[in-house]
Chain A
């Protein structure tokens, strides 16, 4: 009860309160490897303050963080290290793949770069850009907050085969027709089968991925 008699307590369900608390106190673990790491530092500094969104405390220990911000290229040598860091985080945990390199390998389609960290861990938000400007990262964090608040499902992104990527224009129609008309269809297979598109061959990753 506040001084003028008005009530300062809002009746909520516990789940809503928990989601509100979680979204407003995302403690990031900045896993900055390369250029995106510098833009991450810019986002954390005073001009584009990320602390406004609750990310005041930047924790460098995975056990104390709940948001893994992978910013930068992840190479095959670094992959196991990143996976170990991800495994050390406690639930609930979210992953933002910042930049092109961690989303898909970026401009480096070479023998030593992972083509996206979703080869080794489930990712919630992908931030495009090379590097993304701080506003982009802030938008991604806000989208993540939205996801947490509304309790939206966190499906694993389906990777395109090179065949589908080459047919980008026709593929897009398939996506917009099927998935966005029917949000419950989160599986790519079902939506493609529904619109009688060519068979979507599932990509096989080069080594076994552990399910998060």
Chain B
């Protein structure tokens, strides 16, 4: 049975006594993390029924994939989960390299792992900070955001942009690491844990925080599996899945780190999981920075390797090759590949279908936020309105990824 709402300006008298109020937490709302819309049927403060609407940020990124070359589409991947743009870049180029059968160099691999872990840390910073801000803890927001600025300084040194990085390239990276990289990372790696300790002192045993987040928005492990949730939210519910450990890509299996799993699945557990995951990511980053090898960041595969400028000026075939790479695009053989990485929000997958040529035939992005927001409807039924806000903050829904 569908209840169609009418735009009635005159409320019939019987509705005046109706305890159910229709409340629209609209697309423009301070607690809506991006452009989400939830229509709730509210009885007092309890949400009896909810219906979510998305699509307010649908930018046709998948359609653009069919009209832009593989290289041109890298900039659109940043705009998916814009809080951790580096991870999206790396995931996409990994998928295309699978279709082409390209192996990257050691140094490139380490740089990409650094990008992935750095993206994880900054995404969790935003999630915890915004979640705290929604519940009133503004100090946590200011404290954590200064560390995001330090991360921005590092990322700006790597690729020139703070937020929408477009750092990875098919077959390598755009630029090599700058000279002051290790020094800046040292500041980050030594300073952030202290701030995380401060945040934990402020929040973890805080009566208000605990009361507002414990036993709120509980998702059981079976529900997580049914909704296809992955990432910190699923791990907070006890689902012990982490693609970095279960299906390791790159060198994750050689590093020493732990997967963080909690038991109950409420907002408090998700907060704890994210804080500990940040620490684990910093541990991984320390090991990566210590082991960073030298060498080239570009693969030797001539299909994607941009030739040296000197050769372009002197040799004819190299000039034509350079021209073809940039004007037409790289030629990807027919095939398909689904490549998923453990993005900060969960399993971010790119399904690249190629029918030959420089443009993709179809790229489907498996976005973790879609599953998370779908479970939101289920989570807030029976909860109170402030709880709904707390749950939304803990899910870390990024609208860019949700609507693509």
A107 vs chain B, min Cβ distance (A):
6
Question: A121 at the A/B interface (Cβ < 8 Å)?
Answer: no
- Contacting pair A75 B79 (CB below 8 A): no
Once A and B bind, how many residue pairs between them come within 8 Å at the CB atom?
A: 87
Q: Mark B59-76, 1 if CB is under 8 A from A, else 0.
A: 111011000000000011
Instruction: Let me know if B44 is at the binding interface, CB within 8 A.
Output: no
Interface pair A77/B56, CB less than 8 Å apart:
yes
B68 nearest CB neighbor, chain A only: A107
Using A34-B399, A107-B75, A107-B76 as known contacts, say yes or no to A45 and B142 having CB atoms under 8 A apart: yes
B362 an interface residue at 8 Å Cβ cutoff?
no
Q: How far is the CA of A18 from the CA of B148 in the complex (A)?
A: 38
User: A176 interface residue, CB < 8 Å from B?
Assistant: no
Q: Which residues of B contact A38 (CB under 8 A)?
A: 82-83, 126, 163
- In the complex, how many angstroms separate the beta carbon of B289 from the nearest chain A beta carbon? 24
In the bound complex, do residue B60 and residue A111 qualify as a contact, i.e. CB atoms below 8 Å apart?
Answer: yes
Interface string of A30-73 (1 = CB under 8 A from B): 01011101110110011100000000000010000000000011
Interface assignment of A90: CB less than 8 Å from any CB of chain B: no
A116-B70 Cα distance, complex, nearest whole Å: 26
How near does chain B come to A74, taking the closest CB pair, in angstroms?
9
Interfacial chain A residues near B399, Cβ < 8 Å: 33-34
Residue A78 lies at the interface, judged by CB distance under 8 Å to chain B? yes
Partner of B79, one of A31, A35, A45: A35
CB distance from A35 to the nearest CB of B (A): 4
Asked if A138 is at the interface (CB within 8 A of a chain B CB), the reply is no
Q: Does B178 contact A (CB under 8 A)?
A: no
Taking CB atoms and an 8 Å cut-off, the chain A residues in 113-138 that contact chain B are: 113, 130-131, 133
Subset of 13 A-B contacts with CB under 8 Å: A33-B57, A34-B400, A35-B78, A35-B163, A42-B162, A47-B146, A73-B57, A77-B56, A78-B27, A78-B57, A108-B64, A110-B59, A112-B59
Bound: A107/B174 CA distance, A: 20
Docked-complex contact B164 and A110, CB < 8 angstroms:
no
A85 within 8 A of B: yes
Q: Are the CB atoms of A45 and B83 closer together than 8 Å?
A: no
User: Would you call A142 an interface residue if the criterion is a C-beta within 8 Å of the partner chain's C-beta atoms?
Assistant: no
A182, B57: Cα distance in complex, Å: 41
**B157 located at the interface, meaning its Cβ lies under 8 Å from any Cβ of chain A in the complex:** no
Question: Are A81's CB and B28's CB within 8 A?
Answer: yes
- For the complex of A and B, 3 pairs with smallest distance between CB atoms: A110-B60, A35-B82, A60-B30
CA distance A13 to B315 in the complex (A): 72
Within 112-153 of B, Cβ neighbours of A (below 8 Å) are at: 126, 141-142, 145-146, 148-149, 152
Which residues of B line the A interface, CB within 8 A? 26-30, 34-35, 55-61, 63-64, 75-76, 78-79, 82-83, 126, 141-142, 145-146, 148-149, 152, 162-164, 399-400
The size class of the interface chain A forms with chain B is 20 to 34
Does A82 lie at the interface of the complex (its beta carbon under 8 Å from any beta carbon of B)? yes
Most buried by A among B76, B83, B152: B152
Do B34 and A33 touch across chains, with their CB atoms under 8 A apart? yes
A75 to chain B: which residues have CB within 8 Å?
55-59
Which A residues are closer than 8 A to B by beta carbons? 31, 33-35, 37-39, 41-42, 45-47, 60, 72-73, 75, 77-78, 81-82, 85, 107-108, 110-113, 130-131, 133
A87 to chain B, nearest CB (A): 12
Please tell me if the beta carbons of B141 and A77 are within 8 angstroms of each other in the complex. Answer: no
For B63, the chain A residues whose CB sits under 8 A away are: 110-111
* Residue on A nearest B81 in the bound complex, by CB: A35
Evaluate contact between A42 and B56: CB separation under 8 angstroms. no
Q: Which residue of B lies closest to A31 (CB)?
A: B28
Could you say which residues of chain A place their CB within 8 Å of the CB of B152?
Answer: 42
Known: A75-B58, A112-B58. A35 touches B400 (CB 8 A): yes
A38-B82, A42-B148, A82-B28 known; A113-B126 Cβ under 8 A: no
A37 lies within 8 A of B34 (CB): yes
The residues of B that contact A113 with a CB separation of less than 8 Å are 59-60
Q: How far is the CA of A56 from the CA of B68 in the complex (A)?
A: 42
- B28 near A34 with CB under 8 A, answer no
Taking a contact as CB atoms under 8 Å apart, the answer to whether A133 and B162 are in contact is yes
| Distance from A168 Cβ to chain B, minimum over Cβ atoms (Å) | 21
Closest to B37 in A: A81
CA distance A113 to B164 in the complex (A): 19
Question: Are B59 and A108 within 8 A (Cβ)?
Answer: yes
